Chain A
Amino acid sequence: MNAYLTSTGSFLPGLPIDNSEIEDFLGRVEGKSSRLKARILKSNGIKTRHYAIDKAQRTTHSNVEMAVSAARNCLDSSPVPTRSLGMLSCATTQGDMVVPGFGSMVQAMLGVPSVELLTTHGICSSSVMALKAAANSLRLGEHRTALVVVSELASRLLKSTRYEAAGGLAAMDFNSEFLRWMLSDGAGACLLEGAPRGKCLRIDWIRSFSHADAFPVCMGIGMPTDATDDRTWQDYPTYGQAEAAGALLIRQDVRLLEHMVKLGVDGALRLIEEGTLDTAQVNHFLCHYSSHHFRGKIADLLVMSGAHIPQDRWFTNLYTRGNTGAASILIMLDEFLRDGRASVGDTILCMVPESGRFNTAYMHFTAVAE
C-alpha cells in the first residue's frame, strides 16, 4: 500500500523579525548587545524569522497553540474532517509540558477523538520520524488518514534571563551563544492518506541513518557549562542549581558541526549505492541546512562524489522563515507546494541532517494526480 501527502499547513507566530530587532525580542544579556551576533548571522544568512515571545519576553503563543494552528491550516485545505483522523503523529524538541507527550496536548486542543497517538523525541529529524511512522501506519492499512504536526518554540530557551541565570556574560562562550542567532519559532503540518487526492505527493521512501555511536553530543540541553562535570540537569539537588551551572542552556559544539555535513552526504551516497536514490532524477531538493554556511559545503561534497544536484533545483525558505528546527522541513514543504513548484511527475528529495547526535534523514516524494 502507498501513502500520499495530500495537504500541508504551517504557522509562524507574529510578524517577521529582521536581524536588527532580534535582541529586542530575546533580550540583551546584562543589558549589552552581543559581539558575536553579526558574525553568526552573516554566516547563517537568515534575514527574518518569527518569535512566539514579545519584547518583554512574554510568551505570545504556546508550542501547542502553534502546532494546532498549523494543523488547522493543513486541514482547512482538505475535505478530511478533523474528528475522523486515524493517527496523530507529533514532534517537537521541547513541549510546553515536560510530560505528558506533546501529542497528547496537541490532540486535546485540536479535538480529535480516539486517535492513535505518537510523539517522537529528538531535534530536527524527529519530524521525519513522526512522518515515517505515520506513513507506515497507512502502508500497513491500519489507518486511512494520519496527521503529522511539528512545532518548535526555541525562543523561550534563548531569552537573556536564561543566560543571566547561568552566570551571565562571564560564563557565555561561542557554543552557548551560537544558537541564539540561529533558532526561531514556528510549526508545520501535513496530512497523509492511504489514497491519492487531487494533485498530491506519493511517499516513495523515507530513510534515516544515526551515528550517535560514533560521535559526542553536538547540540543539546542538559549538560553543565563545566565539561568535567558529568552530571545532567536532573542530577542537581534543585533545578535552580542546574540552571546556575548552565545545564539548562541549549548548546552547540560548533567544532563538531562539519561532521553533520559529511554524514548528510554519506547517507545520500549510501542510498545511491543501494539503488534507492538517483540524484540525477531529482527535480527538487529541499534541504534543511541550518545555516547558509553549510549549503556550499553540502553542494561541494555532492559534486565531488558525483551526486551533484544543480543549484536551481534547491529550494529553501530558511532565509525568510528562519531555522525552526524540526518544523523547518514541513514549513519548507508547505511553502514549496503552495507556490505550485511541483508539477505532476516531479520528484522531490528532502534531507534533514540533525546535529544533536548526528541523525540524518531523507524523504523522497513523487508528485502525482488522482
Chain B
Amino acid sequence: MTFSRPLALSELGQSTLRQLTRAWFAFERRLALVPIVRRLDLGTFTLADYQQLLLHLRPQVVEGSRWISRAASSFDRDHSDIRSVVLAHANDEHRDYEVLESDYVATGGRLETIRQQPRNIGSEALNAYLMFRAGEPNPVGLLGAMWIIEGLGEKMAGNWAKRVEELTGVHRSCTQFLRYHANNDDSHMNKLYGLLDRICTHEQAAGDVVLTANVVGRLYALQLEEIDGAQ
C-alpha cells in the first residue's frame, strides 16, 4: 500500500480529501466482502478465478478510455486546464485492454473468448453511469470516479498481482495488466491531488466529487460481485 502525499490544500480541498479517503476505505471494506476477493484473501483463489476476473474486467476497461474521452470533451474553455489532465489520462490508458487480453491468453485462454465477453450487470451499470456523468457539462464530479479507479491501481493492483501469482502459480507474463496499473497509477493519483483545489472551489462541487466516488466504488464492487453471480 502506498499513498501519495498531496500538495498543500485549501480547507475545502482538505475536507474533500478526508471524505475521499473515507470513501476509499469504505470501498476497500466492500471489496473485502466480494466473494472472489475474499478467496484471494483467504488463499482459495484459483487459476479459473483469475481467468474469470480478467474476462469480467475487460468490457469495462475497453469502455474506460471512452468515458474519459467523453468527459474531456465536456469541459468548456473555462476548464481547459482540467481537460488537459483528463485528455492526457485518456491517452495513457486507451489501449490497456490489449494488455489485459494478452494476460488472458498467457493463462491459456482464447482471445476470441475474452473479446466476446459481454458486460456483466455491474459493468453495465458502471459504464452507463460513467458515460452519463461524462456527458454532463463540466463533469468535475468524475474526479471522484478517477479517485476510485486509479486508486485501485495504485493501492491494490500490485498486491493482487503478487497474490495471484503466489496462489495460482502463473508467470508474471500473465499479470501485466495489474502490474502496469500498480506501476503507473501513482503518477495519475498525483495529478488528481493537483486537481483537488482547482475543482473543490465550492461545497457543491466537492460534494459531487465525493458522491461520484461512492457511487463508482459501489458499482465497481458490483461488477466484481457479478463474477460469481454470473456463473
Q: Are B21 and A269 in contact (CB under 8 A)?
A: yes
Chain A 206-231 interface 0/1 with B at a Cβ cutoff of 8 Å (1 = within): 00000101111000000000011000
**Do residues A306 and B17 form an inter-chain contact, with CB atoms below 8 A?**
yes
B1 contacts partner chain A, Cβ-Cβ < 8 Å: yes
Q: How far is the CA of A262 from the CA of B1 in the complex (A)?
A: 10
Tell me the A246-261 residues at the B interface (CB within 8 Å): 255-256, 258-259, 261
Report the nearest B residue to A266, measured CB to CB: B25
Is A297 in the interface zone, CB < 8 Å from B? yes
A272 touches B (CB below 8 Å): yes
B interface residues, tally (CB under 8 Å)? 25
Dominant SS among interface residues on chain A: helix
Are B5 and A300 closer than 8 Å at their CB atoms? yes
Q: Is B22 a contact of A273 with CB atoms below 8 Å?
A: yes
B38 interface residue (CB < 8 Å to A): yes
Report Cα–Cα, A347/B19, bound state, in Å.
Answer: 25
Please tell me if the beta carbons of A227 and B43 are within 8 angstroms of each other in the complex: yes
Given contacts A214-B32, A266-B22, contact A305 B17 (CB under 8 A): yes
**Are A297 and B1 in contact, CB atoms less than 8 angstroms apart?**
yes
Q: Does A293 contact B (CB under 8 A)?
A: no
Question: B25 and A216: CB pair below 8 A?
Answer: no
A contacts with B, residue count (CB < 8 A): 28
Cross-chain contact A304 with B5 (CB below 8 angstroms): yes
Assuming the contacts A262-B1, A301-B3, asked whether A214 and B42 have C-beta atoms less than 8 A apart, the reply is: no
* Contact between B18 and A303, CB atoms less than 8 A apart: no
Report Cα–Cα, A259/B17, bound state, in Å: 19
Inter-chain contacts of B25 with A (CB < 8 A): 262-263, 265-266, 269
Cα-based distance from A266 to B30 in the complex (angstroms): 14
Partner of B41, one of A216, A263, A266, A301: A216
Contact A273 B18 (CB under 8 A): yes
Cα of A265 to Cα of B42 in the assembled complex, Å: 24
Contact B41 A306 (CB under 8 A): no
Minimum Cβ distance to chain B for residue A281 (Å): 16
With a cutoff of 8 Å between Cβ atoms, the chain B residues found around residue A255 in the complex are 41, 163
Proximity string of chain A (228-252) to chain B, C-beta cutoff 8 Å, 1 when within and 0 when not: 1000000000000000000000000
Cα of A261 to Cα of B28 in the assembled complex, Å: 13
Q: Tell me which residues from 15 to 54 in chain B have a Cβ below 8 Å from any Cβ of chain A.
A: 15, 17-19, 21-22, 25, 28-30, 32-33, 38, 41-44
Number of A-B contacts (CB under 8 A): 62
> In whole angstroms, what is the CA distance A40 to B60 when docked?
41
Task: Kindly identify which residue among B6, B18, B21, B29 contacts A214, using a CB–CB cutoff of 8 Å.
Answer: B29
Nearest Cβ on chain B to A273's Cβ, whole angstroms: 7
A272-316: CB near B (< 8 Å → 1, else 0) gives 110000000000000000000000010011011111000000000
B4 on the A face (CB < 8 A):
yes
Nearest CB on A from B140, distance (A): 20
Which of A211, A256, A258, A297 touches B29 (beta carbons < 8 Å)? A211
Tell me the nearest residue of chain B to A306, going by C-beta: B14
Docked-complex contact B38 and A216, CB < 8 angstroms: yes
Given A227-B43, A304-B5, A306-B14, CB of A259 within 8 Å of CB of B28: yes
Cβ 8 A contact of B18, one of A215, A228, A259, A305: A305
* Bound CA span A303–B5, Å: 7
Q: Which residues of A contact B44 (CB under 8 A)?
A: 227-228
Q: In the assembled complex, how far is the CB of residue B173 from the closest CB belonging to chain A, in whole angstroms?
A: 24
Q: How far is the CB of A310 from chain B (nearest CB, A)?
A: 15
| Residues of chain B with a CB closer than 8 A to A58's CB | none
* Besides A255-B41, A269-B25, 20 new A-B residue pairs in contact (Cβ under 8 A), listed by A number: A213-B33, A214-B30, A216-B38, A216-B42, A227-B43, A228-B44, A256-B41, A259-B28, A262-B25, A265-B21, A265-B25, A266-B21, A269-B22, A273-B18, A304-B3, A304-B5, A304-B17, A306-B9, A306-B14, A306-B15
Which residue numbers of A lie inside 8 Å of B, CB to CB?
211, 213-216, 227-228, 255-256, 258-259, 261-263, 265-266, 269-270, 272-273, 297, 300-301, 303-307
17 contacts between A and B (CB under 8 A): A214-B29, A214-B33, A228-B44, A255-B41, A262-B1, A265-B21, A269-B21, A269-B22, A269-B25, A273-B18, A301-B21, A304-B17, A305-B21, A306-B9, A306-B14, A306-B17, A307-B18
Those 8 A-B pairs whose CB atoms lie nearest each other, nearest first: A306-B14, A214-B29, A266-B25, A305-B21, A304-B3, A214-B32, A258-B1, A305-B18
